Amino acid sequence: MKINNKTAFAFLLCFPFLQSCLFQEEEIFDKPAYQRLEEMATNLRETLQSSENGWKLTYYTDPESYGAYNFLFKFDETDVIVQGDSLFPQGKYTSKWDINKSQGGIVLDFASYNDVFTDIADPGKYIMGQGLSGDKEFLWKKYSADKDTIYMQAKKNGVKIQLIKFEGNWDDYINNINEVMDKFANGAMSKYFKVIEFDDGTNLVLGAYHKITRRFDQIFINDHDSVKVVENGLAFHENGIDFYQPVTVKGHTITGIHYDRASETFSVENGTVTAGIPPFVMPGDFTQLFQMNETYDFTHLSQALMEEYYRIDSLMTYAAKPFTRTDGKTMKNIEFSGMSFMKNANSFGNSSLYIVVFYSYELDGERTLGIAAASPVISRGNINGRADAFRFSNNSGGTSVVGDYADLLTNDVNQFRNIITVTGRDYIAVPDEYFEYIRFGSQLNGTFFGIKKS
């Protein structure tokens, strides 16, 4: 290859400056990179083991989709003891941990399976296909000045966390958090709707609290006389609840809810928190809520409904082996496609609203769509004096599940339907402005579901 003389001369002119830059870099970093990494890893290892009572973590695994989960950790040279809040197996569980070194820095690795902690990173746990979007590897970022806080970042999704030096009794701490969660979801507070009422009469309605996702809806009528719903995350602590995002309504801004252990009640500054039906009636023409032959996909399900939804999904997966029908033909490669509401009558009085499961399969070499359906009855109007109230009840003529796959789906579809029509029964509808997406919250308990026009 021929070298241009001018280029070569220019390079020689720059060479002294290159030497100078390299010399300055050696002055800044007086140790090789591998040695600096080794020292950082040793420092982190010693710091994690230095806390006599361990570390606490309030972990927002994915703030856009989940609230926070509570953990305690105690590290020795090779083992870590972990205890978590009531979503996880109760008690203290031990597993292995390590510090890994990489080009990105040093990483805290929960290296072996832990019954409490590592399942949050498993997509097959808790919420099928997502898990809790957690991680088990965390990149060290920095310490606080007193080293009482270690700032880290989840390796998988970049979520920032803080390990805070813990002082106190482990069991008392976890039990107090569990008590707040239990009182917020059960007993007198077990309704879908929770109403914050300020001293000046302003109301903010909370709905759709989900024990697994730790999320809730903020529901209020905005200035355009339509419903506004904003999702938010929760972090439970010993004395109440923190909101991931502050909530503002008509001049009132709150960052969380206080729990009074003596009276077992919740409150906010200048206001109370109770469970009950929201004082306002949702605006809109509810005669257009369900339209003839429209399909509405389920979304935003309460815990019991979500468990049934995924049980049907897992049933399909389990039964994906060839299935011989009563007519002797064999269904192959069965796949779950989804679950929806479908209306097949053009009135509200005792109309049929089918819960349908869609699936597909191969039959005689062709891909075929199958449907299994259960029919509840819906009625509307003047239920507890509200125009936005609806009642779902079992079909008085009995429930039939139809379709080629009926034998395998009957119990599951019926159970899903029964949670809506028996457990929940009476609902308040919370539609968006265009009736494209409607939330239903039970007036009886914490059952809820959303439907979205397909």
Say whether both 157 and 66 belong to one domain. yes
Is residue 9 in some structural domain? Answer: no
**pLDDT value at 454 more than 90:** no
Q: Are residues 197 and 241 in the same domain?
A: yes
pTM attached to this predicted model: 0.83
Check: CB of residue 95 under 8 Å from CB of residue 112. yes
Domain final position from 148, 168, 188: 168
Distance CA 132, CA 125 (A): 8
Are 60 and 157 contacting, i.e. CB atoms less than 8 angstroms apart? Answer: no
Q: Are residues 448 and 326 in the same domain?
A: yes
**What are the angstrom distances between the C-alpha of 361 and each of 228, 325, 334, 339, 410?**
41, 12, 4, 16, 18
Query: What is the pLDDT at residue 409?
Result: 64
Domain that holds residue 155: 33-168
160 SS3 class: strand
Helices 303-318, 406-418: axis angle to 10 degrees equals 170
Are residues 268 and 298 located together in one domain of the fold? no
Beta strands 295-299 and 271-275 are unpaired
Choose the most confident range, by mean pLDDT, from 43-57, 210-224, 269-283, 391-405. 43-57
The beta strand positions in 344-384, using DSSP E, are 351-363, 366-374, 376-380
In a domain, 197, yes or no: yes
Q: How far does Cα 228 stand from its chain's mean position?
A: 20
- Dump pLDDT digits (tens) for 307-328: 888 877 776 655 556 667 777 8
Instruction: Evaluate whether residue 117 is within a structural domain.
Output: yes
Alpha carbons within 13 A on the beta-carbon side of 118: 15
> What is residue 31's predicted lDDT score, i.e. its pLDDT?
74
Whether 12 shows a pLDDT value over 50: the answer reads: no
Between these two residues, 95 and 308, which has the higher pLDDT value? Answer: 95
Res. 17 pLDDT band, cuts 50 70 90: very low
Q: Say if 131 falls within a structural domain.
A: yes
d(CA 454, CA 450): 12
Q: Which of 111, 131, 109, 108 is nearest to 120 (CA)?
A: 131
Whether residue 160 is found in the same domain as residue 199? no
Task: Tell me: do 181 and 164 sit in the same domain.
Answer: no
In a domain, 85, yes or no: yes
Query: 10 in a domain, yes or no?
Result: no
Quote the percentage of the chain above a pLDDT of 90: 47
Please, what's the b/e burial string for 237-251 (b: 16 or more CB within 10 A of its CB; e: otherwise)?
bbebbbbbeebebee
| DSSP labels, 5-68 | HHHHHHHHHHHHHHHHHHHHHHHH--S-HHHHHHHHHHHHHHHHHH-TT-EEEEEES-TTT--E
184: domain CATH number is 2.40.128
Is 137 inside any structural domain?
Answer: yes
Give me the phi and psi of 246, to 5 degrees please: -55, 145
User: What span, in angstroms and rounded, lies between the C-alpha atoms of 278 and 427?
Assistant: 12
Q: For residues 299 and 446, state if they share a domain.
A: yes
Could you read off the pLDDT of 41-88 as tens digits, one per residue? 999 999 999 999 999 999 999 999 999 999 999 999 999 999 999 999
C-alpha angle 243/249/252, rounded to 5°? 80
- One domain, residues 418 and 300: yes
Does residue 216 share a domain with residue 100?
no
Any residues with CB less than 8 A from the CB of 89 and at least 6 apart, and which? 115, 116
**Final residue of a domain: which of 109, 134, 168?**
168
Residues 394, 422: contact at Cβ < 8 Å? yes
347 has a pLDDT exceeding 80 = no
d(CA 447, CA 303): 8
Confidence (pLDDT) at 351: 56
- Number of structural domains in the chain: 3
Residues 198, 324, single domain; the answer is no
Give dist(CA 419, CA 250) in Å, integer.
36
Q: Which of 42, 43, 49, 46 is nearest to 80 (CA)?
A: 49
Domain membership flag for residue 443: yes
